[in-house]
A and B are shown apart, each in its own frame.
Chain A
Amino acid sequence: MNRTYGIAGVTAVVLATVLVGALGLRVSRTTSDFYVASRTVAPRLNAFAVSGEYLSAASFLGVAGLVLAQGVDMLWFPIGYTAGFLVLLVFVAAPLRRSGAYTLPDFAEARLESRAVRRVAGVLVVGIGWLYLLPQLRGAGLTLRLLTGAPGWLGALVVAAVVTAAVAAGGMRSITFVQAFQYWLKLTALLVPVLFLLLAWRADRAPAPVWDQRPVFHRSAEVRVDRPVTVTVREPVGVTVSGTVDGRTVHGVSLLLGEGPHRFGADTTVRFPAGAVVPLPDRTADRALAGWAEPLSSSREQHGLYATYGLILATFLGTMGLPHVVVRFYTNPDGRAARRTTVSVLGLLGAFYLLMPLYGMLGRLYAPDLLLTGDTDAVVLVLPQRLIGGAAGNLLGALVAGGACAAFLSTASGLTMSVAGVLAQDVLPTLGVRHFRLATLPAIAVPTAASALVGDLPVADAVGLAFAVSASSFCPLLVLGIWWRGLTPPGAIAGLLLGGGSALTAVTATIAGGADPGWPHTLLAWPAVWSVPVGFAAMILISLATRDRVPPGTATTMARLHLPEPPPPGPPPA
């Protein structure tokens, strides 16, 4: 990809973001438009903002990459990401808004009248936020590496710096307009290129992708290997290599790769002829290189149905517990607006995810080499150049790069803000609330450091895993808290700790890579199937056992959560 164009695209997005953030206040000078200034955010605008904040690097880059690597089954990811909002709509949206809570710990305290539950919820919010930030920072590293060749940790650092600076300078005074802008940017950055890509595909006589175990180079392709990789060649193939192959340093030599494993060194360029079968990396030897598809794929092949249901449960039930999604509901003026916002979000996310299968299919046709290098997440970024090329390809590439930048910037800033809020209020109470801006530092520094530390490990799964933790801790808390009068503080704490804790343990084990392939790994990589019932069961049983601890204000709280608000201006006195 042309570096100048890409960097220009990313820079433009960062500048536009800061500009919209700084100027996003509603300013009115004459009293005639004061009314406009004090009007609350309309459901549609808020829906743009929710979608803008929600569509992260995992959606923008990851879904297409997964589809490229593993095919149609991976479309359950975007379905889950969207359907989560439907579950949120029917069980949580309006009552959550009516509770007056800004964060999840706020809700816990408002509903259960207990500081202890609040603290437990706070710790979990920080954990989920950090887990979710990891893949954003990884996506940033990937994008920057492709654009400039910088090492992966640098991208994470740049994003962390931009977010911290923006928050510290007060540049995010009015985040609603920023996030709404980011949604349209992301949609445009995928929609415009895909139209051109489809035209180019038709001009190429519209070949259909073949989804078997052996992807084929549709065209003659030059593959650049950045990091050492061992691949398994199934059919002998004649290639041209510059760099290191099987320990030999060569320069522009044509040679025949026989059947069996071959090792390419770092900074090696390999040219494959058209029609050659793409040699896939040896999964046991170079597990880490296979990107975020890898830990799923090995288990998916064996326990596909279980994994699919794990994914469905985690995403359907986990969305309601994501800290950066919850805080956006506070912006709605009332419960009814919260519902209307959520239903608009369903439409906006659907529009976005409809494009994903196209990128995955085109990627299978025109960028199968990413399977070799393991950078499947880059498929959205590289396609414009592959298919179109020239200045047009560069421009579209810059647009996509800008969109990717918007994706991880918006989600990262939203997450950082909500984690910082909880840190400032609950975890670092000695600092006092005045130090909200100070709290942004640990909020983003920890995941940045973690992303540098775990480096090449398949941490990008963390999105799915963050969903699983949220589904097994906050989903029981919200659903039971809103619909069941019998919930008690000890029950809530037990459910949060057992459900969230067991999911978190499984997540940690998965990220650390401690599990053997096979059932143990599958169980740990898709914890939601068992950890969600654990969370619910713990919450219900312990609540029943501590029936005398039902908060005294439960009836009042329930009335507040479920009865509609009076209309805003108040009825005229009759």
Chain B
Amino acid sequence: MGAEPVPRREVVTARHPGHSDRAAPRPRVSSDARPAAPRHDAATRHVMRHQLRAALLVTALLAGLLGLLPVLLRLLPLATTAPRVPLAVWLVLGVAPYPALLAIGAWYVRRAERNETGPAARLRPERP
């Protein structure tokens, strides 16, 4: 079996030699650009509204907790002037943000998934 010469393979494609080097045309696909059914549209708007509300809430939280911090640290003259930076500043900037970010993120994921499965699912009615 091993002594037999191994037959060679040949590369075969259906490419026509005439236009082998042309860049691929972008074919139209029939499923594209069909207008969404109004039923979909209502469900989409509903989900979008709820998700956007959650996202903006997180943004507000982020702006309130972290966004105001530079001003606060500037107003309470601790961070930059004293030769010994108080431990509290190190903790506020070096430790505290990370658990807070993780907690906000986890809360958002729970809320977003509820938005998708809860009322939105009820609003998405009969399957075709």
Q: Do chains A and B touch in the complex (CB under 8 A)?
A: yes
CB of B43 within 8 A of CB of A563, answer yes
CB of A562 within 8 A of CB of B51, answer yes
Chain B: interface size category? 35 or more
User: How many of chain A's residues have a CB under 8 angstroms from any CB in B?
Assistant: 55
The 8 A CB mask of B91-106 against A (1 = contact, 0 = none) is: 0011101110110111
CB of B70 within 8 A of CB of A82, answer no
Q: A483-B52, A563-B44 are in contact. Are A312 and B67 (CB under 8 A)?
A: yes
Q: A490 near B: Cβ within 8 Å?
A: no
The complex places the Cα of A89 from the Cα of B102 at a distance, in Å, of: 11
| Chain B binding surface SS class | helix
A320-366 contacts to B, CB under 8 A, are 336, 339-340, 342-343, 346-347, 349-351, 353-354, 356-357, 361
Taking the closest CB of chain A, its distance from the CB of B50, in whole angstroms, is 10
CB of B102 within 8 A of CB of A347, answer yes
B residues within 8 Å of A by Cβ?
21, 23-24, 32-36, 40-41, 43-44, 47-48, 51-52, 54-55, 58-59, 62, 66-67, 70-71, 74, 79-80, 82-85, 89-90, 93-95, 97-99, 101-102, 104-106, 108-109, 112-113, 116-117, 120, 124
CB of B36 within 8 A of CB of A555, answer yes
A555 / chain B contacts, CB cutoff of 8 Å = 35-36, 40-41, 44
CB of B101 within 8 A of CB of A564, answer no
Residue of A nearest to B107 (CB): A343
Given contacts A343-B102, A553-B33, A559-B44, 20 further A-B contacts (CB under 8 A): A72-B94, A73-B93, A75-B93, A79-B93, A82-B98, A86-B101, A89-B109, A208-B84, A336-B113, A339-B109, A343-B105, A346-B101, A354-B95, A357-B90, A432-B24, A553-B32, A555-B35, A556-B36, A556-B40, A559-B43
CB of B109 within 8 A of CB of A343, answer yes
A556 / chain B contacts, CB cutoff of 8 Å = 33-36, 40
The complex places the Cα of A82 from the Cα of B97 at a distance, in Å, of: 9
CB of A353 within 8 A of CB of B70, answer no
The complex places the Cα of A429 from the Cα of B22 at a distance, in Å, of: 10
Q: Looking at A72, A349, A350, A353, which has the most chain B CB atoms within 10 Å of its CB? A: A72
CB of A429 within 8 A of CB of B105, answer no
A353 / chain B contacts, CB cutoff of 8 Å = 98
Report which of B43, B70, B101, B112 forms a contact with A94, defined as CB distance below 8 A.
B112
CB of A73 within 8 A of CB of B80, answer yes
CB of B33 within 8 A of CB of A83, answer no
CB of A211 within 8 A of CB of B85, answer yes
Report which of A71, A212, A340, A354 forms a contact with B109, defined as CB distance below 8 A.
A340
CB of B112 within 8 A of CB of A354, answer no
CB of A350 within 8 A of CB of B84, answer no
Q: A232 near B: Cβ within 8 Å?
A: no
Interchain Cβ contacts under 8 Å between A and B, 14 examples: A72-B94, A75-B94, A79-B66, A86-B104, A90-B54, A211-B83, A304-B80, A354-B94, A357-B93, A552-B33, A559-B43, A562-B47, A563-B40, A563-B43
Q: A73-B79, A563-B40 are in contact. Are A430 and B101 (CB under 8 A)?
A: no
A residues within 8 Å of B by Cβ?
71-73, 75-76, 79, 82-83, 85-87, 89-91, 94, 113, 208, 210-212, 304-305, 308-309, 312, 316, 336, 339-340, 342-343, 346-347, 349-351, 353-354, 356-357, 361, 429-430, 432-433, 483, 552-553, 555-556, 558-559, 562-564
B52 / chain A contacts, CB cutoff of 8 Å = 483
Report which of A305, A342, A349 forms a contact with B74, defined as CB distance below 8 A.
A305
Report which of B70, B82, B89 forms a contact with A309, defined as CB distance below 8 A.
B70
Q: A91-B55, A210-B84 are in contact. Are A72 and B98 (CB under 8 A)?
A: no
Residue of A nearest to B96 (CB): A79
CB of A308 within 8 A of CB of B98, answer no
The complex places the Cα of A304 from the Cα of B117 at a distance, in Å, of: 45
Report which of A87, A208, A558, A563 forms a contact with B59, defined as CB distance below 8 A.
A87
The complex places the Cα of A558 from the Cα of B70 at a distance, in Å, of: 37
CB of B98 within 8 A of CB of A354, answer yes
Taking the closest CB of chain A, its distance from the CB of B111, in whole angstroms, is 10
A89 / chain B contacts, CB cutoff of 8 Å = 105, 108-109
Q: A79-B93, A82-B97, A304-B80 are in contact. Are A563 and B47 (CB under 8 A)?
A: yes
Q: A71-B80, A309-B70, A555-B40 are in contact. Are A562 and B62 (CB under 8 A)?
A: no
Residue of A nearest to B32 (CB): A553
Residue of A nearest to B51 (CB): A562
Taking the closest CB of chain A, its distance from the CB of B21, in whole angstroms, is 8
CB of B79 within 8 A of CB of A90, answer no
Taking the closest CB of chain B, its distance from the CB of A62, in whole angstroms, is 16
CB of B90 within 8 A of CB of A211, answer no
CB of B83 within 8 A of CB of A212, answer yes
CB of A350 within 8 A of CB of B102, answer yes
